[in-house]
């Protein structure tokens, strides 16, 4: 059994994908060829944003987004303590001060209450200027943007949506990647919409930001002349081959994969919700299920369940075994575990189960049985 079955997916889409790759080889337009612009247009339409700018990976998408907002030394950027390292790393590498915030235990996403406290504390201390909030759509579920938006407006902060795991999620009719001033996603193969290597994209409705992002991904070059540069940028492009693959995969994603993976989540929840903490999806929210993450009653139970699953050949993962304030680059901030009770409970008890659009109900049954016997 696979944790995320990319082989079965490839077999299902092989003729289209092979011919998409072949046509890029035939055209030999490997960098910024036709499929890149076509994909940017399709993605912008799907997400419901005016502009989509593709780039080399999700980490660059975050970093370029922060650069386009002018985030740098002296600025405070608020980010959840429980997320993949890149969320915070993308701000720190620009010399911004990352202020870590606890999560909402039910959704694993940024806690609006803790966010507001952190902003007030930062203002009171007066050492850094609050500039932006990075909200993460962890495991595929959009963060609480209605509340986060209110706080951002009150304190005049920009919102960067880290939708690396969130592509395809919704709140009401609005799609993930469109909730912030800027949205960033990743096409790493195991993400909800993945390519066959690295890739990323940035979304915004702001034309000025979009222009700056197009410049920043190409060394900061001017829009009028290829060898004239207005600022220091990066080299961060999506390969044409990856764009061609994504055009095919986006069709399957829209037509049936997103529904299929939601069906799988339902099968799990039906079988498990009486015995363990299953993922909470608030009313009106829709997840793209980058992960299906349960919480066990304590670390010992979690580790036992994982061991028993492994004995039966069932892969599972601990996303994440560490919170950010415990990671070496952030230890110097002097934050204690007690300041992040929800994030700490998460690292101690979470377990992510195999989920992807091609998993069968009988596999879910089998996995659930092992969990129920050991939880």
Query: How many residues in the chain?
Result: 375
Residue 171: which H helix or E strand, with range? Answer: strand 170-171
Q: Which is nearer to ligand PLP, 138 or 364 (CB)?
A: 138
| Min dist. Cβ of residue 238 to ligand PLP (A) | 11
Sequence-distant (6+) residues with CB within 8 A of 239 are: 30, 31, 197, 199
278 binds ligand PLP (CB under 6 A): no
User: How far is it, in rounded angstroms, from Cα 53 to Cα 44?
Assistant: 9
Number of Cα atoms under 13 Å in the Cβ half of residue 254: 11
Pairing between strand 129-136 and 75-80? parallel
Task: State the minimum distance, in angstroms, from the CB of residue 327 to ligand PLP.
Answer: 14
Q: How far is residue 98 CA from its own chain's centroid?
A: 18
Classify residue 196 as exposed, middle or buried by CB count within 10 Å of its CB (0-12, 13-18, 19+). middle
Is residue 58 a contact point for ligand PLP (CB under 6 A)? yes
Q: What is the DSSP string of 66-125?
A: HHHTT--TTEEEEEESSS-THHHHHHHTTTPEEEEE-B-TTTSSB-HHHHHHHHHHHHHH
164 lies in the binding site for ligand PLP (CB under 6 A): yes
Closer residue to ligand PLP in complex, CB, 136/347: 136
Nearest distance from C-beta of residue 301 to ligand PLP, angstroms: 26
Q: Which lies closer to ligand PLP via its Cβ, residue 139 or residue 286? A: 139
Query: Is residue 162 part of the contact set for ligand PLP (CB under 6 A)?
Result: yes
Residue 307 neighbours by CB under 8 Å, 6+ apart = none
Residues in region 171-190 near ligand PLP by CB under 6 A? 186, 188
CB of 200 to ligand PLP, least distance (A): 5
- Looking at the Cβ atoms of 122 and 165, the one nearer to ligand PLP is 165
**Minimum distance from residue 39 beta carbon to ligand PLP (Å):** 16
Q: Is 43 in the site for ligand PLP (CB under 6 A)?
A: no
Retrieve residue 223's tokens. 């829009």
Number of residue whose CB is nearest ligand PLP: 58
Region binding ligand PLP by CB under 6 A among candidate stretches 45-53, 82-90, 94-102, 121-129: 82-90
Cis peptide, bond prior to residue 320, ω within 30 of zero: yes
What is the Cα–Cα distance from 260 to 21, expressed in whole angstroms? 26
Among 9, 54, 65, 87, binds ligand PLP (CB under 6 A): 87
CB of 288 to ligand PLP, least distance (A): 12
- Assess 218 for contact with ligand PLP (CB under 6 A): no
Which of 130, 200, 233, 357 contacts ligand PLP by CB under 6 A? Answer: 200
User: Cβ 90 to ligand PLP, closest distance in Å?
Assistant: 8
Asked if 50 and 44 count as a contact pair (C-beta separation under 8 A), the reply is yes
- Compute how many residues bind ligand PLP; rule: CB under 6 A: 15
Tell which residue, 305, 341, 306, 307, has the closest CA to residue 323.
341
Q: Interface with ligand PLP by CB under 6 A: which range of 119-127, 160-168, 215-223, 359-367?
A: 160-168
Judged by CB under 6 A, does residue 57 bind ligand PLP?
A: yes
Exposure string (b/e) for 213-239, b if CB count within 10 Å is 16 or more?
bbbbbbebbeeeeeeeeeeebbebbbb
Q: Interacting stretch for ligand PLP, rule CB under 6 A, among 55-63, 170-178, 210-218, 260-268?
A: 55-63
How many CA atoms within 13 Å lie on the side-chain side of 73? 0
Q: Which stretch binds ligand PLP (CB under 6 A): 80-88, 109-117, 265-273, 341-349?
A: 80-88
Examine residue 83 and tell whether it contacts ligand PLP (CB under 6 A): yes
Binding site for ligand PLP (CB under 6 A): 57-59, 83-84, 86-87, 136, 162, 164-165, 186, 188, 198, 200
């Amino acid at each position: 059994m696979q944790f995320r079955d990319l082989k079965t997916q490839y077999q299902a889409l092989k003729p289209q994908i092979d011919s998409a790759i072949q046509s890029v080889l035939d055209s030999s337009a490997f960098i910024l060829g036709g499929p890149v612009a076509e994909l940017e247009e399709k993605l912008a339409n799907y997400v419901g944003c005016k502009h989509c700018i593709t780039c080399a990976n999700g980490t660059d998408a975050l970093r370029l987004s922060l650069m386009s907002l002018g985030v740098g030394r002296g600025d405070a950027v608020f980010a959840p303590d429980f997320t993949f390292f890149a969320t915070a790393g993308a701000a720190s590498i620009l010399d911004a001060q990352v202020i870590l915030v606890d999560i909402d235990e039910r959704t694993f996403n940024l806690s609006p209450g803790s966010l507001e406290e952190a902003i007030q504390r930062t203002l009171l201390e007066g050492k850094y200027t609050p500039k932006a909030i990075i909200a993460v759509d962890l495991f595929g579920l959009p963060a609480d943007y209605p509340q986060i938006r209110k706080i951002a407006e009150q304190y005049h902060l920009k919102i960067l949506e880290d939708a690396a795991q969130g592509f395809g999620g919704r709140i009401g009719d609005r799609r993930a990647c469109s909730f912030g001033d800027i949205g960033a996603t990743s096409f790493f193969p195991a993400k909800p919409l993945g390519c066959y290597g690295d890739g990323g994209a940035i979304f915004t409705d702001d034309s000025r930001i979009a222009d700056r992002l197009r410049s920043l991904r190409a060394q900061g070059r001017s829009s009028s002349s290829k060898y004239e540069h207005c600022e220091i940028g990066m080299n961060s492009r999506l390969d044409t081959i990856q764009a061609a693959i994504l055009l095919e995969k986006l069709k399957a994603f829209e037509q049936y994969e997103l529904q299929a993976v939601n069906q799988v989540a339902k099968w799990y929840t039906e079988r498990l919700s009486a015995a363990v903490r299953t993922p909470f999806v608030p009313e009106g929210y829709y997840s793209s299920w980058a992960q299906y993450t349960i919480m066990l009653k304590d670390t010992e139970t979690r580790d036992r369940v994982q061991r028993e699953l492994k004995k039966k050949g069932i892969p599972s993962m601990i996303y994440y075994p560490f919170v950010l304030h415990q990671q070496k680059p952030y230890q110097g901030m002097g934050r204690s575990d007690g300041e992040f009770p929800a994030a700490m409970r998460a690292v101690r008890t979470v377990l992510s189960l195999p989920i992807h659009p091609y998993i069968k109900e009988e596999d879910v049954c089998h996995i659930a049985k092992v969990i129920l016997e050991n939880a």
